[in-house]
Amino acid sequence: MLSNQLRHAPAPALILLAALVSAPATLAADLSCNSLIEPGQKMICSGFEPNWALEITCNGDVTSNFIDAFSGDGIQTTPGSISFATENPWQLETSHPVTGEIAYTPDGCTDESDRVSDFTFTPTAAPGLPGPFFPFCCRVE
């Protein structure tokens, strides 16, 4: 019955249906690093008080950097690995070790400079930092 309805559907409806069916496949192809960011991009999740950040990069494989701006030795960047237990939301663990979850929150995260972002990071652990941890924004560059 559905194929009969589609056969007699107006052309704009068929075009919309085709676009909806192909959209997820296109999105998945573009976001090859755990369906989070595109190749060549980086995501920076910056915390404050104390100042630190998690930088996730996609260059074939997904990697991470822990950026420490709170220990008093200037800004220290430590490269490391990252793994994801789930996607969307992305539960992650790095070798630094940083753990937490990144959620897709379209236009739902506003940082202290009033910049709006589409992703929110809720950390559960970070090296050298005691909890409690509060959510903060992630930007894609």
Question: CA separation (Å) from 109 to 53, 126, 141?
Answer: 16, 21, 16
Whole-model pTM: value is 0.75
DSSP 89: S
Q: Reply yes or no on whether the pLDDT at 9 is more than 80.
A: no
- 98, 64 contact by CB (below 8 A): yes
What's the token pair of residue 123?
């950390």
DSSP 6: H
Confidence grade of residue 31 (pLDDT, cut at 50, 70, 90)? low
pLDDT in tens, 66-124: 999 887 778 999 999 999 999 999 999 999 999 999 999 999 999 888 999 999 999 99
- 40, 31 contact by CB (below 8 A): no
